[in-house]
Amino acid sequence: MAVLHAAPIMPIHTDIAALKPRSTGASSSGGLPPCELSVVVPVHNELGNLAPLIHEVIATLSGIVPFEIIYVDDGSTDGTACALQELQREVPALRVLRHHQRSGQSTAIRSGVFAARGRWIATLDGDGQNDPADIPALLTAACSLVAQQGDERVMVAGWRTTRRDSAYTRWQSWVANGVRARLLDDGTPDTGCGLKVFTRSVYLALPYFDHMHRFLPALVQREGGSVESVPVRHRERTSGASHYGLLNRSWAGVVDMAGVLWLRRRARVAETTEVVQSTLTWNS
């Protein structure tokens, strides 16, 4: 089920009670502080965008929810690795994972989610075009979905209603989103937006393959989950260059889409109830 919210972006009002920490299945070893939300940021050669985005995340989430920031350096060659090590010294909430060779955005997200300690995952693109100030609104919407659905098979996807990209990039995204929406009918107008909030548990239930990050809403729906799209801000890139072009948005996307269609046709979601044996006490 997909739900679209077409209302304009409003100031963020976070329901603190909805974000109250509770136990997760993720590891909390090493004496680290409690964590309810893990912000996962995959990066490749984003040296100029690291510090500004990290400090924005801290400014947004401090005092709202216990959080950690996980940067996954996907084989960068521009000094990103050294800069992240320096930032770790001043930002206790920052954790850094490094791929020794470039493995792609989907694999970087997967590495981050596997390492995450939070019940909730928020993903951001590392280029600074997503605004971390939108995370609380998406997290609150996701908490509401959990309350409505009664389980954790939920995702809230950002919807960049006003793009700050070149005309060519906007055209590529328009074509890709149009083809995907027609074939998959996932009700998600902007699946390419890197800003998403979902539970760690639902992500771990998804089939893994390269480029899967482009199809996360459809894959969550395949598991019987609910997906909601919420308008978010979008900003111009101020440093670095885009890593995507027409080739990896078109031919590779068509091949992957065929695989997702196959996965959806083969899916079976069973309603399961545990049978608990009652204990009877006999009084003599």
Q: What is the DSSP string of 15-76?
A: -GGGG-----SS---TTPPP-SEEEEEEESS-GGGHHHHHHHHHHHHTTTS-EEEEEEEES-
Give the pLDDT band of residue 30 (cuts 50, 70, 90). Answer: low
Give the pLDDT band of residue 251 (cuts 50, 70, 90). Answer: low
Sheet strands side by side (includes 226-232): 2-4, 226-232, 154-160, 196-199, 120-123, 37-43, 67-74, 94-99
Rounded to whole angstroms, the Cα distance separating 176 from 163 reads 15
33-265, CATH topology level: Spore Coat Polysaccharide Biosynthesis Protein SpsA; Chain A (3.90.550)
Better-predicted residue by pLDDT, 57 or 8: 57
Which pLDDT belongs to residue 88? 97
Rounded to whole angstroms, the Cα distance separating 281 from 284 reads 10
Give the pLDDT band of residue 276 (cuts 50, 70, 90). Answer: confident
Rounded to whole angstroms, the Cα distance separating 25 from 175 reads 39
Better-predicted residue by pLDDT, 5 or 274: 274
Are the CB atoms for 121 and 155 separated by under 8 Å? no
Give the pLDDT band of residue 9 (cuts 50, 70, 90). Answer: very low
Rounded to whole angstroms, the Cα distance separating 227 from 205 reads 15
Q: Provide the terminal-to-terminal Cα distance of the chain, rounded to the nearest Å.
A: 54
User: Nearest 5°: phi and psi at 281?
Assistant: -110, 125
| Tens-place pLDDT, residues 181-227 | 667 778 889 988 999 999 999 999 999 999 999 999 999 999 999 99
Give the pLDDT band of residue 91 (cuts 50, 70, 90). Answer: very high
Residue 99 predicted with pLDDT over 90: yes
Q: Which of 65-74, 152-161, 183-192, 207-216 has the lowest mean pLDDT?
A: 183-192
pTM attached to this predicted model: 0.80
Average pLDDT over residues 10-27: 44
Average pLDDT over residues 102-121: 97
Are the CB atoms for 72 and 109 separated by under 8 Å? yes
